Amino acid sequence: MRMRPKKNREARLLKVENFFAVCDGEKIDVQQSFGEKRPLWLEIGCGKGAFAAAMSTRHPEVNYLAFERVIDVMLMAMERAAAEGCGNLRFCSCNAENICTLLEGEKLDRVFINFCDPWPKKRNAKRRLTSPLFLEKYKSLLAPGARIYFKTDNRDLFDYSVEQFDSCGYVAENVCYDLHASPLAEDNIQTEYEKTFSEKGFKINYLEAYVKE
Ligand SMILES: C[S@@+](CC[C@H](N)C(=O)[O-])C[C@H]1O[C@@H](n2cnc3c(N)ncnc32)[C@H](O)[C@@H]1O
């Protein structure tokens, strides 16, 4: 997501600093970040935060952590969280590549990957958030029975991801090539990208995956 650097970034970040996860630069202190131990849900690449705000509000019983690599995008998400009073939502500006160090010793109950960058060139395949490299990292952090929820408008990325989940020992469920036309649409919360692309006529692909016993 490209955008002009935000004016008054530091002052604006200060206003929403309560929404930062506590992190020493390497590892997130989940206990200190949320104060209370609850199931931990993670969204990777939250963008401007519409999904994170809505999901954390719908589920006050969980601790909802959102990763976003671009600080100016995350600032907008944090401002939204503050405006909507999302008390169980915290953000970390980081690259998900470092997830194992960031969340060392933690267990994730859900992971959301929404409209991640497709990295269409083969030489960049390792950067896809559903590449084997990433799927193995998630596996080491997932609690028993935990699920990954994945949505994308990009059919090539989706087909690739279905294959990778399978080859990395996950079971894919509710695999769906037109989420908005399916019964799953009822509970669906749309992300910013999802709204934009579905309005342009793109079908939304969706799956849930868990690690095979
Ligand atoms: C295409 S946007 C989608 C944003 C949002 N999920 C949505 O559906 O509207 C992908 C977002 O993921 C972030 N992102 C991409 N790779 C990432 C990574 N390795 N770690 C953290 N964030 C990442 C990007 O900065 C961008 O904001």
Q: Is the pTM of this model over 0.85?
A: yes
| C-alpha to C-alpha distances, 36 to 33, 52, 56, 61, 82, nearest whole angstrom | 9, 19, 15, 10, 19
Q: Please give the span between the terminal C-alpha atoms of the chain, in angstroms, as a whole number.
A: 37
pLDDT in the model for residue 213? 84
The two tokens of residue 1 are: 């997501």
Q: Give the DSSP H/E element, type plus range, for residue 133.
A: helix 132-141
| C-alpha to C-alpha distances, 42 to 5, 45, 109, 147, nearest whole angstrom | 26, 10, 8, 11
For each of the chain's 213 residues, which pLDDT tens digit applies?
A: 556 777 899 999 999 999 999 999 999 999 999 999 999 999 999 999 999 999 999 999 999 999 999 999 999 999 999 999 999 999 999 999 999 999 999 999 999 999 999 999 999 999 999 999 999 999 999 999 999 999 999 999 999 999 999 999 999 999 999 999 999 999 999 999 999 999 999 999 999 999 998
Is residue 100 within 8 A of residue 33, CB to CB? The reply is no
64: left (phi over 0), alpha (psi -120 to 50) or beta: beta
B/e letters for 143-165, b = 16+ CB within 10 Å, e = fewer, are eeebbbbbbbbbeebbebbbebb
In a domain, 2, yes or no: no
Residue 71 alpha carbon to ligand 1 centre in Å: 11
CA distance 206 to 183: 12
In a domain, 3, yes or no: no
| Strand segments (E) across the chain | 40-44, 63-67, 89-92, 108-114, 142-152, 170-176, 205-211
pLDDT in the model for residue 3? 67
In a domain, 145, yes or no: yes
pLDDT in the model for residue 25? 92
- Nearest CA among 175, 128, 181 for reference residue 149: 175
Q: Is 12 in the pocket of ligand 1 (CB under 6 A)?
A: no
Q: Which residues are catalytic?
A: 117
In a domain, 84, yes or no: yes
Residue 57 alpha carbon to ligand 1 centre in Å: 21
In a domain, 183, yes or no: yes
Domain residue limits at 202: 9-211
Mutational test site, ligand 1, from 76, 94, 95, 116, max ligand atoms within 8 Å of CB: 116
In a domain, 182, yes or no: yes
Count of the separate structural domains present in the chain: 1
DSSP 8-state class, residue 87: T
pLDDT in the model for residue 7? 81
In a domain, 126, yes or no: yes
- Nearest CA among 193, 147, 153, 212 for reference residue 51: 193
In a domain, 1, yes or no: no
**CATH code of the domain in which 186 resides:** 3.40.50.150
CA distance 148 to 210: 6
Q: Is 117 in the pocket of ligand 1 (CB under 6 A)?
A: yes
Segment 20-32, tens digit of pLDDT: 999 999 999 999 9
CA distance 12 to 144: 39
Residue 150 alpha carbon to ligand 1 centre in Å: 13
pLDDT in the model for residue 2? 55
Mutational test site, ligand 1, from 46, 91, 137, 152, max ligand atoms within 8 Å of CB: 46
